[in-house]
Amino acid sequence: MARRQVFLGILRVIGFFVLIIAVYTIVQNMQAQECAEGESGLDCIELPPGFSIDYYAENVDNARSMTLSPNGTLFVGTRNAGNVYALPDRDQDNRADELLMIAEGLNMPNGVAFRNGSLYVAEVSRVIRYDDIENRLEDPPEPVVVNDSFPSDKSHGWKYIKFGPDGKLYVPVGAPCDACDKEEEDARYATIMRMEANGSGLEIFARGIRNSVGFAWHPETEELWFTDNGRDWLGDDLPPDELNRAPEPGLHFGFPFCHGGDIPDPELGELRDCEEFTPPEVKLGPHVAALGMTFYTGTMFPEEYRNQTFIAEHGSWNRKIPIGYRVTLVRLENGTPVSYEAFAEGWIQGFSAWGRPVDVLVMPDGALLVSDDKNDAIYRISYLGTGQGVI
């Protein structure tokens, strides 16, 4: 009888904690739902004093990478939706006037880039181009295939693309796995490649990169910086995501043998020494899923933000306590990172996320756009002056 009473007592305690967790989860889900509904939801976002956040566009299904034409048309790629959108702001009121479908039914058209009147779109195994697109927004032309020789693996196959200062289009090829050595099978895996605008001269620029979905060139040195997502299944706190710098072609950043600069892979690490590789400039949070990044080149934000690095952290998916779901700031001094901090956060409430930042883009007026593929939105972060905005 005594054992039965003890057993029942333990069950009551367990039931009490289960109830507490269930109530907490329901409350967090309700808070996340409230954040996602309407303009007031942006009150959930915390920003430094003087900054404000508004919607630039809503109902942009699965909004991912962004590029802006010189005429001010924002183009947005997607991953799961298979669509590419155009969002013109013809009246220049800092909000998109309409959402136009440029393409649909594509194979993970995550990456978009604009050059000489043409929109470049990266699918899993090819890059295509829509010529004279701004004169054809409501009647897009058939795409021209620029290069269709990329691997067809969907695992880390979605791409982020951007034209570099050298005029070449940079295209990453992610590893088709969590952690594996595929270089002998196909040297293009786990790299960032580049090619001429017409698709010729495709070459590997950097190796040992598990999956980069964001990069930019420093506005003064023109050196390539890029984010890289660390491998999974090494625990909640390992390895870190990375912010890397590639001042020249030919560097190797460690994957799959070494993670975060000094963490040997448990299965492949014995094959190579971490000291052989280029270490990250910054170890970002573990599993934060650092994606799009940019250097701030505008004049709207205070001077201390000039040429600093903004990163969209999509958020962890396999961590007990989720992290990320924010925009972070890496501060540089003389080209060297000195701090890593949150800039905009609040897209996750407890364990429930209502938004997931994907990409960041500096507008001509100096505002910062942030895409969100969970809340299907593009946000505009502006600076109003000290003492204003959301704190």
Domain assignment present for residue 14? The answer is no
Q: Closest by alpha carbon to 116, among 128, 101, 131?
A: 131
What's the pLDDT at 4?
A: 64
**Is the Cβ–Cβ distance between 60 and 375 less than 8 Å?**
no
**DSSP label at 252?**
B
Pairing of β 74-77 and β 66-68: antiparallel
pTM for this structure? 0.91
What's the pLDDT at 16?
A: 54
What's the pLDDT at 21?
A: 42
Q: Report how far residue 77's alpha carbon sits from residue 233's, in angstroms, rounded to the nearest whole number.
A: 29
**Is the Cβ–Cβ distance between 215 and 192 less than 8 Å?**
yes
CATH code for the domain of 68:
2.120.10.30
SS3 206: strand
Domain assignment present for residue 16? The answer is no
Domain extent at residue 58? 43-383
What's the pLDDT at 33?
A: 64
Domain assignment present for residue 32? The answer is no
Q: Report how far residue 263's alpha carbon sits from residue 266's, in angstroms, rounded to the nearest whole number.
A: 9
Backbone angles phi, psi at 67, to 5 degrees: -145, 150
What's the pLDDT at 201?
A: 98
Domain assignment present for residue 31? The answer is no
Q: Report how far residue 342's alpha carbon sits from residue 286's, in angstroms, rounded to the nearest whole number.
A: 14
**Is the Cβ–Cβ distance between 326 and 347 less than 8 Å?**
yes
Which residues 6+ apart lie within 8 Å of 6 measured at CB?
none
**Is the Cβ–Cβ distance between 173 and 110 less than 8 Å?**
no
What's the pLDDT at 37?
A: 65
Instruction: Give the residue carrying structure tokens 């901090």.
Output: 341
Domain assignment present for residue 37? The answer is no
**Is the Cβ–Cβ distance between 242 and 280 less than 8 Å?**
yes
What's the pLDDT at 9?
A: 60
How many degrees, rounded to 5, is the angle at CA 55 between CA 162 and CA 367?
55
Buried b (16+ CB within 10 A) or exposed e, 37-47: eeeebbebbeb
Q: Report how far residue 85's alpha carbon sits from residue 72's, in angstroms, rounded to the nearest whole number.
A: 14
Domain assignment present for residue 38? The answer is no
Alpha-carbon dihedral 345, 346, 348, 351, rounded to 10 degrees: 110
Q: Which amino acid is at 169?
A: L
Domain assignment present for residue 28? The answer is no
What's the pLDDT at 240?
A: 98
**Is the Cβ–Cβ distance between 147 and 202 less than 8 Å?**
yes
Total domains in the chain come to: 1
Q: Closest by alpha carbon to 242, among 262, 253, 227?
A: 227
Q: Report how far residue 288's alpha carbon sits from residue 323's, in angstroms, rounded to the nearest whole number.
A: 6
What's the pLDDT at 34?
A: 72
**Is the Cβ–Cβ distance between 379 and 63 less than 8 Å?**
no
Q: Report how far residue 369's alpha carbon sits from residue 327's, in angstroms, rounded to the nearest whole number.
A: 11
End-to-end CA distance of the chain: 58
Q: What is the pLDDT tens value at each position of the chain, 391 positions in all?
A: 566 665 566 657 565 544 444 444 454 555 566 786 655 579 999 999 999 999 999 999 999 999 999 999 999 999 999 999 999 999 999 999 999 999 999 999 999 999 999 999 999 999 999 999 999 999 999 999 999 999 999 999 999 999 999 999 999 999 999 999 999 999 999 999 999 999 999 999 999 999 999 999 999 999 999 999 999 999 999 999 999 999 999 999 999 999 999 999 999 999 999 999 999 999 999 999 999 999 999 999 999 999 999 999 999 999 999 999 999 999 999 999 999 999 999 999 999 999 999 999 999 999 999 999 999 999 999 999 864 444 3
Q: Report how far residue 210's alpha carbon sits from residue 278's, in angstroms, rounded to the nearest whole number.
A: 14
Domain assignment present for residue 214? The answer is yes
